[in-house]
Amino acid sequence: MDTDSDDAGRFYAKECPSRTVVDVLANKWVLYVLGILDGSPRPLRFTELRRRIDGVTQKSLTQALRNLERDGLLSRTVYPTIPPRVEYALTDLGAEASVLTTRIADWSRVNAPRILAARSAHDGKP
């Protein structure tokens, strides 16, 4: 019995727990949040994250942050000030995940010209 291929096949099954994790990480705003927090020397507030992620809506960023906190990839610290101050930072698990997102970002930067050229060629087809 080939257990490696069995495990690989289960990964694509709807019931596979790791698939739900991949679904969270595949969200484009999650990739940006992980990358920005990984590159920050300190925790960041919601408005700082929103300012750094061009095009994200408040709703989309809120959902991404909630999903990351729920999955243990970031910590949310609320300070009892008026108004309340909330800061977000990567957990150790989030820092591990950001290694992957950094590689995706690096690959994207290197290969963007090739992908854009392929899109242009494809879109120009009759």
Tell me the one-letter amino acid at 107.
W
Residue in the block written with tokens 């690096």: 106
Q: What is the structure's pLDDT at 4?
A: 55
Torsion of CA 31, 37, 39, 45, to 10 degrees: 130
Helix (H, G, I), strand (E, B) or coil at 64: helix
Fold of 16-123: Arc Repressor Mutant, subunit A (1.10.10)
- The residue extents of the domains of the chain are 16-123
DSSP state of 23: H
The tens-digit pLDDT sequence of the chain (126 residues) is 445 555 666 777 878 888 888 888 888 899 999 999 999 999 999 999 999 999 999 999 999 999 999 999 999 999 999 999 999 999 999 999 999 989 999 999 999 999 999 999 999 876
